[in-house]
Structure 1
């Protein structure tokens, strides 16, 4: 079992062979738990509805109106699109959101006064996911969470949600599927993929500005995830042939983040 995070826009561009690779893994009893985002689709729908949106340090500022659209797009459109693509490849998947079965419990982020109804994960119902996996299905998770009392919904950054799911499941590896080959750094005037970075090096690169924008929540989620049994997070380009199988078999692709 491993946890895979994939952005909605990345997913739309992935070739059919990516999902066929997932089918092969499932046949080998290696079941991915998928946590997905959907930022561009959310922004597009908000724009069509005339609802303003902005980002603060990579997190979408969220009020109730924005949250309604986030839940509609993530739990409806994107989630079911992923499930359909997996099933077309002959694999088995069940799409759920963090609301279902109290899967993801959350609390307001520290800077909630700036970003509104954005949540940090406090608990994941790992038993529910293990039950789905025992039935032979891949769980596909939309990152919307509930407060402790079950009344308030929260928009949760997909990278943060994936890190929390990996930690609570106790998996050894999390794979972040993106449209970039890994963490890049300019060395002697040329951008190169860093094959291996430590948590300390990531913090230094955020401070220096080598890591910026949307990559910051990805690497911070990776840092949060590297606890318990989770020993590494791998950032890869989903367009690489058989990328999941190759990572699982130990091939050096993308960037590995370790303690």
Structure 2
């Protein structure tokens, strides 16, 4: 869909998102953009699991989700985190609707590996009709990454995977990863745009290092289907928008992967 932006808010940044970030959502909507927000909630989940004395482990970066963990994850993501985000969007003068992947069959999933990961799912189908109907009403869908399989079992879904799947299915023009960093920096200066090949080179020469490597690799992995670019931006910054463009690093598909017109 033209002028559609999917924004993924990482759990580690949720409590630090500035009023400027939410004002940016409003500015985008007022400028004619359609916005979808997909969120995580890792730190809030960890806090709740600790309070409930429920053990939680990670396998290859994904939270192993037993039934006890799943119930806590649903409670935190669909309740506390989702409604807090909806409230903040609406305080910035934009109407939002909080959903999970369960609502309206929004996100059908299949288990990734039940033996190793338990109830962790991968999106296989997105109800785009529901999303389009909300967008047509000038509403911002705020989506918690909980999905359901064909048998009605609930699954925890990695927020990056959920955001990428929704962006592909809705034919979004852009996917945005909101993090706690400004984007890719070189010698202290922000790199405003780069192709995937250029980013690979920046990783190779050490410009991109440490915790930034998985961020940019996740961003590049999402560049499939009609998604032409992905932006890494800082949700803690007091300035998120400049001349209608998001401030951060925009990574575009490599020239060799551009669709033939």
TM range (shorter): 0.7 to 0.9
Q: 1:208 to 1:61 in 2, by over 3 A?
A: farther
Q: TM-score, normalised by structure 2?
A: 0.85
Gaps of 5+ in 2: 254-261
Q: 1:214 to 1:150 in 2, by over 3 A?
A: farther
CA distance in 1, matches of 2:77, 2:18: 21
Aligned counterpart, 1:126: 128
Range moving further from structure 2, 169-178 or 205-214: 205-214
1:58–1:214 CA contact under 8 A, matched in 2: no
C-alpha offsets along residues 87-115 of structure 1, whole Å, 9 cap, x if unaligned?
Answer: 11211000000000110111122x44322
C-alpha offsets along residues 38-91 of structure 1, whole Å, 9 cap, x if unaligned?
Answer: 000000000000001112222111111101111110000000000111111211
C-alpha offsets along residues 221-245 of structure 1, whole Å, 9 cap, x if unaligned?
Answer: 43342122211111111123341x3
Aligned counterpart, 1:230: 227
1:57–1:213 CA contact under 8 A, matched in 2: no
Equivalent residue for 2:250, pick from 237, 249, 256? 256
CA distance in 2, matches of 1:202, 1:221: 12
Range moving further from structure 2, 222-231 or 35-44: 222-231
Q: 1:141 to 1:131 in 2, by over 3 A?
A: same
The alignment covers a number of residue pairs equal to: 249
Q: TM-score, normalised by structure 1?
A: 0.85
C-alpha offsets along residues 129-152 of structure 1, whole Å, 9 cap, x if unaligned?
Answer: 0100111110000000111x1411
Confirm whether residue 46 of structure 1 aligns to residue 41 of structure 2: no
Aligned counterpart, 1:100: 103
Q: 1:207 to 1:146 in 2, by over 3 A?
A: farther
Q: 1:215 to 1:38 in 2, by over 3 A?
A: farther
Instruction: Find the residue that maps to 1:86 and give its secondary structure.
Output: helix
Confirm whether residue 114 of structure 1 aligns to residue 109 of structure 2: no
CA distance in 1, matches of 2:85, 2:60: 27
**How well do the aligned residues superpose, as a CA RMSD in angstroms?**
2.6
Q: 1:95 to 1:61 in 2, by over 3 A?
A: same
Aligned counterpart, 2:171: 170
1:163–1:221 CA contact under 8 A, matched in 2: no
CA distance in 1, matches of 2:76, 2:153: 18
Instruction: Find the residue that maps to 1:4 and give its secondary structure.
Output: strand
